[in-house]
Amino acid sequence: MKVVRQFQVRGATGFVTHSEFNGRRVDFWAPPEPTSHLVVAHDGQNIFDKNTATRRRTWGLAGTATKVARELGLPTPAIIAVFHSSTQQDPYGRGKDLAPEDIFVDGIEPVVGFPGIWPTPTPSFALSELRGNHYLREINQNIVPKICEYLSLELVPENTAMLGASMGGLATLYNLAKYPELYRTALAFSTHWTVGGDPLVDGIMGALPAPGDHKIWMSRGTKSLDADYGPYQERANLIARGMGYGHARDLATPIFPRTSHNEDSWASYLNQALRFWLAN
């Protein structure tokens, strides 16, 4: 881990640290008081710094997490924000990172032509170039342990969550399937089911751990890309309930009318997702 610099953002006490891991940027922040809670977020460019944010809008995650934790009388979670690897040389890097690799390699055909995932309608790379497994392995075996050591933060699976939106929602659920021993909660916003349709829903949901120790949040809006998610998300909800996940206890599947597929929308109900994670 290479520490590059520290900077301040509105709503967060102290400093956010900009670090690099093998060329990948990772920003992280911890509250001034001791904590055993941690949330790992995809699309780290949109978490803290408006200068790196896709639309110059961030999730405001640190500020919202601080408020929710105070309301609940709990320690404020530390936050690790992992940037994707899209570059001019590799414009499809984000999709390669966040796609649930095993599901697609096992035979599910990606659906092309949907905006919001690839820079052009049809990706020009092979499924063998997907690196979702390497991406999650790097997070869980290198990035998170080293940052927690740097922060003197003890990892407690019961208090650890992953968060992501769109393709990051897919990666969040996929991570829970692959690393159920490290995470107890998946917070998936506007999950981009349309990139694989029903087979993708079945593949990811069928790989999730049995209920009892884990919690799943799957939310969506009703505008722009989110307007297409309805039937797929309902299918995912039915599968989760069929597995034994139950509302309020360990499953939340809210719909937020008139919200869209962007950071402003996700930030507007982020407090509800964090409360679902921390309160129960």
pLDDT in tens, 147-178: 999 999 999 999 999 999 999 999 999 999 99
Of 169 and 114, the one with more pLDDT: 169
Q: What is the pLDDT of residue 115?
A: 44
- pLDDT bracket for residue 122 (50, 70, 90): low
For the segment 25-52, the average pLDDT, to the nearest whole number, is 96
pLDDT over 80 at 280, yes or no: no
Of 111 and 104, the one with more pLDDT: 104
pLDDT over 90 at 117, yes or no: no
Per-residue pLDDT reduced to its tens digit, 62-97:
999 999 999 999 999 999 999 999 888 888 899 999
pLDDT over 60 at 141, yes or no: yes
Q: What is the pLDDT of residue 20?
A: 98
Per-residue pLDDT reduced to its tens digit, 234-260:
999 999 999 999 978 899 999 999 999
Q: What is the pLDDT of residue 114?
A: 43
Distance from CA of residue 235 to its chain's centroid?
Answer: 20
- The percent of residues in the chain predicted with pLDDT above 70, rounded, is 95
Q: What is the pLDDT of residue 118?
A: 45
pLDDT over 70 at 116, yes or no: no
CA dist., res. 27 & res. 119, Å (int) = 24
Of 87 and 221, the one with more pLDDT: 221
Q: What is the pLDDT of residue 205?
A: 98
79: CB partners within 8 A, 6+ apart: 28, 29, 30, 38, 39, 41, 47, 48, 61, 62, 65
pLDDT over 60 at 112, yes or no: no
Of 88 and 25, the one with more pLDDT: 25
pLDDT over 80 at 139, yes or no: yes
Dihedrals φ, ψ of 95, to 5°? -65, -40
CA dist., res. 241 & res. 243, Å (int) = 5
Residue whose structure tokens are 């092309």 = 112
- pLDDT bracket for residue 109 (50, 70, 90): confident
For the segment 111-137, the average pLDDT, to the nearest whole number, is 69
CATH topology of domain 2-279: Rossmann fold (3.40.50)
Q: What is the pLDDT of residue 98?
A: 96
